[in-house]
Structure 1
Amino acid sequence: MPHLTVHALESDLAGRESELIAALTDAVVAVYGEWAREIAEVRLVGVPAGRWGIGGKQAEDPAPSVTFGVKDIAFTRPDSDRIVARLISGVTDAIAGVVGERVRPRVAVDLVSMPTGRSGVGGVVITS
C-alpha cells in the first residue's frame, strides 16, 4: 500500500487539499497502475508559517517535503531505477502543479522501504 505524507506550509495547502490528494494519487497510479488507486493513502500535514526551520533558522518559504512509503520489492526489481525516477518526478510534478512552480526546485521526496511483514493494518501484520 503506497503511503505519502506531505509536510507543507498551511498556506500552500489551504483550499487545495482535494486537488493535491487527487494529483498525488494520479502520480502513484501512473507508475503502479490503476489497481493502486484504491489503496494509495495520502496524508497532508499543514505547518503554520514560522514553525519550519532550515539551518537553525525559521524558513521563509519552505517547499513541501514528502515521505513515500513503498514495499522494498520496488527497489529490488530490474527496473527499480526507472520506477524510483518516475515516482520522484511524478510526485514533484503533482505538487508543483497544485501548489505552484515556485516550489518545484526545492520539493524533497524520500522513498522509504518497508520490508514485507514489517507493517500492518487493523492490528494485523501484512504479509504480502
Structure 2
Amino acid sequence: MPHLSVHVLESDLAGRETALMQTLTDAVVAVYGEWARGLVVVHLIGLPPQRWGIGGVPASAPSPSVTFGIKEGAFRRPDASEVVARLVAGVTDAIVDVFGERVRAGVSVELVATVAGRTGIGGVVVTP
C-alpha cells in the first residue's frame, strides 16, 4: 500500500490539507489505477519555520519534501523506470497544484522500498 509522508512548513500547509491529500491520492491512482485509491495513505507533517534548516540555518521558503513508501517489488517490474518516473512527476505536479509553481524546483520525492516481510500491522508481520 502506498504511504506518502509530506514535510511542509505549517504556515504553507494550513487550510490546504484536504486538497493536498486528494491531489496526492489522484497522482498515485493515475499511475496504478482506481483500485489503489483506497490503499493510499498520506501523512502531512507541518513544521514551524525554525525547525527546517538548510545549510545550518533556518530555511526561508523550503519546498515540500515527500517520502513515498512503496513495495520493493515495484522496482523489479519490467516497466519500473517508467513507473518511478510517472510517480515522481505526478507527485511533484500534485504538490505544485496545491502550493504553486514557486515550489516545483525544490520539491523532493524519495521512493523508499519496503522489503516483503519487514512490515507489521496490528502487531503482526505482513507477509506477501
TM-score, with structure 1 as normaliser = 0.98
Secondary structure of 1:37's counterpart equals helix
Aligned to 2:29: 29
Aligned to 2:116: 116
Q: Identity of counterpart residues, as a percentage?
A: 64
Q: What does the per-residue CA deviation read over 1:3-30, in whole Å, with 9 as the maximum and x for residues that have no partner?
A: 0000000111100000000000001111
Aligned to 1:102: 102
Aligned residues: 128
Distance 1:56 1:25 in 2: 33
Structure 1 segments of 4 or more deviating over 4 A?
none
Q: What does the per-residue CA deviation read over 1:89-125, in whole Å, with 9 as the maximum and x for residues that have no partner?
A: 0000000000111001100000000011111211111
Going by fraction, where is helix more abundant, 1 or 2?
A: 2
CA RMSD of aligned residues (A): 0.7
Within 5 Å, give how 1:1-128 maps onto structure 2: 1-128=1-128
Whether the 8 Å CA contact 1:27–1:90 is kept in 2: the answer is yes
Whether the 8 Å CA contact 1:50–1:60 is kept in 2: the answer is no
TM-score, with structure 2 as normaliser = 0.98
